[in-house]
A and B are shown apart, each in its own frame.
Chain A
């Protein structure tokens, strides 16, 4: 991808002049990078390498021997007889389900809100703040709040169902499938403000002249959205999509607080299961193997997203 910028041709000469003038050494940029390289080695490369070592040994800090077991813990994840395989892939399925359902919701609702709040309506600043505010809460506060709202017996949702609508209460927190409702609704409520703000910024950058031209041509509001707003918001949508997918993959706190992964592990996320395997079961090697496999899946997704982004940028050029 290359962006054509006016005056680009003049730059190499300028750069050569600067390099020849003050710094004088080709090593200089690398010296500037050195502190970051050191941090990168200590906090990224070493932990990743050590994690890989842990996942291939029967590892415990206190053990006298830490025998090499090769890919045993990775193989366990593909052996249907082991609980690790059963629960890891169950948690992957749960995380995937959450991502699949929540991402379109998180993008759609935040875009809708942004479109509404971009108009010069009364109390616009107030509503913008109201929708942004939940995002400042910690996950535990948000989780407790939505657990109460959807409690089988004392929750507001069931109180409305029984007392106002005369219906039977629904046991949201202890029914497989239904337990996702408070988690997904809570997450949308909690994170909608951030995406909305990004979309508002994107909308602010679209020149009014496009809309004026479209109006002269007699375009309907839908046509204006379809052919002006949506394509020009594409870079924002891509950014929102990538960050929301990554955040959804990292689902942890919401399920931990609202359902504790239950009922019957039906809402247990991958990170939650890895944490359980490491710190509740003290199986650090097994947890490391899971983390690497999970990381690999995330990497593939990120790669695909970058491919899409690159293609989009080429298309725009």
Chain B
């Protein structure tokens, strides 16, 4: 056990305590300067800058020079920076881009020996989260930040509707959603004269954009399906996928416990106004609901499928771009030491101030979160899956989101919408493959 691991273990034993203990770097070489490119340009920027300043102060032989710029700019610049041999030493890449950059050779693999030498222990992270940056059996990045799809619930409306338990599976969700639904005349679904077009309150928010489609993604994963098959061709029309998505569409079209043809803004407004019991969306709305002083809770997405718990998550990973021949090996070792420091429990705990979820159980167990509403999802953070692992993200997710919109709006049957989406995606993948040969 090297020193960093020992220090980490000690910190864990102490429950982190919120104290930034000094951490010994694994890099002992001559002084190097590292360039670090990241897209944390919002409210998270000061937190990142503070962490970098702490690192520089604690590591006199490594100077990290950071540059924050919009993510989109980095995606456009990275290929030319790598191709011209001027790549930064460390770049943060998001889950929806990473496999593409890996497959195009913009990022270098991190060997087990290298990770070990730098003190980076894969097992300290949530498994699916770490694997987001894996491709063809190799690791290419270390998770630094994470967001997830969760289910917000309105406690007041639930109480008023007689729902005492937050639903955790399909049956409970349907029963609770039915209880929450009333039309303008106070009638319930199933009662004679019930008007599904004029809902006063309703069970669950479904909506037509990409965020709305991430619930369909969860349903597919929970049923044991996936977006792509083992050959990385689109496969979101499998029987498991159709079954899971059909349940969601039935919530609108058959059970009338969700509004048809709704938008994210409309559902967000309705949830804030206490008109809908369950609002599945990104955990990034947490601050907003807290500031509104709503009486709400946060739960993991209920198990709609039959196989496993699952929810969509987005993530950011620290990667080492491919460098020109003759690149200073000391820089690579120093970069890995920096990655290790930044993704260590103490720093990750500090980073959660920026709105991220913990990327490792050791941080999720910290007492700091005990009374936060978001703590309700922490026991299942290991069941969060990114839409990653295939280099043709746009070609798969675009048609998938469109298929969801068509199925949800009733424009096509679930099977027809998913079949059409897969057919389109596979045609595009077939052409994209030529670029990666």
Write the residues of chain A forming the contact surface with B, with a CB cutoff of 8 angstroms: 58, 60-64, 76, 81-84, 147-148, 151-154, 168, 171, 173-175, 260, 262-265, 276, 279-283, 286
Contact A152 to B262, CB < 8 A, known contacts A263-B405, A282-B432: yes
15 examples of A-B residue contacts, CB within 8 angstroms = A62-B104, A82-B431, A83-B424, A83-B431, A151-B263, A151-B265, A152-B266, A153-B266, A154-B265, A171-B409, A174-B208, A262-B405, A264-B405, A279-B76, A281-B398
B19 sits at the interface (CB 8 A): no
B395 sits at the interface (CB 8 A): yes
Smallest CB separation, B83 vs chain A (Å): 5
Partner of A82, one of B105, B261, B427: B427
Are the CB atoms of A173 and B263 closer together than 8 Å?
A: yes
Q: How far apart are the CA atoms of A246 and B165 in the complex, in Å?
A: 58
Are the CB atoms of B79 and A60 closer together than 8 Å?
A: yes
Residues of chain B within 8 A of A83, CB atoms compared = 424, 427-428, 431
Contact with A along B400-416 (1 / 0, CB 8 A): 00100110010100000
B270 sits at the interface (CB 8 A): yes
Are the CB atoms of B266 and A151 closer together than 8 Å?
A: yes
Write the residues of chain B forming the contact surface with A, with a CB cutoff of 8 angstroms: 72, 75-76, 79-80, 82-83, 100, 104-106, 197, 208-209, 259-263, 265-267, 269-270, 392-395, 398, 402, 405-406, 409, 411, 424, 427-428, 431-432, 434-435
Residue of B with least CB distance to A155: B266
Residues of chain B within 8 A of A282, CB atoms compared = 100, 104, 394, 432, 435
Are the CB atoms of A61 and B261 closer together than 8 Å?
A: no
Smallest CB separation, A258 vs chain B (Å): 11
Q: How far apart are the CA atoms of A263 and B406 in the complex, in Å?
A: 8
Are the CB atoms of B75 and A279 closer together than 8 Å?
A: yes
Are the CB atoms of B80 and A61 closer together than 8 Å?
A: yes
Q: How far apart are the CA atoms of A280 and B431 in the complex, in Å?
A: 14
Q: How far apart are the CA atoms of A260 and B397 in the complex, in Å?
A: 14
Are the CB atoms of A63 and B104 closer together than 8 Å?
A: yes
Residues of chain A within 8 A of B428, CB atoms compared = 83, 281
Partner of B394, one of A58, A84, A276: A276
Residues of chain A within 8 A of B392, CB atoms compared = 281
Q: How far apart are the CA atoms of A92 and B267 in the complex, in Å?
A: 33
With A62-B105, A81-B427 already in contact, 17 other A-B pairs whose C-beta atoms are closer than 8 Å? A61-B82, A61-B83, A62-B106, A63-B104, A84-B431, A151-B265, A154-B266, A168-B197, A173-B263, A174-B208, A260-B209, A263-B411, A264-B402, A276-B394, A279-B76, A280-B398, A286-B431
Residue of A with least CB distance to B100: A282
Contact A281 to B80, CB < 8 A, known contacts A58-B435, A63-B104, A262-B405: no
Q: How far apart are the CA atoms of A154 and B76 in the complex, in Å?
A: 36
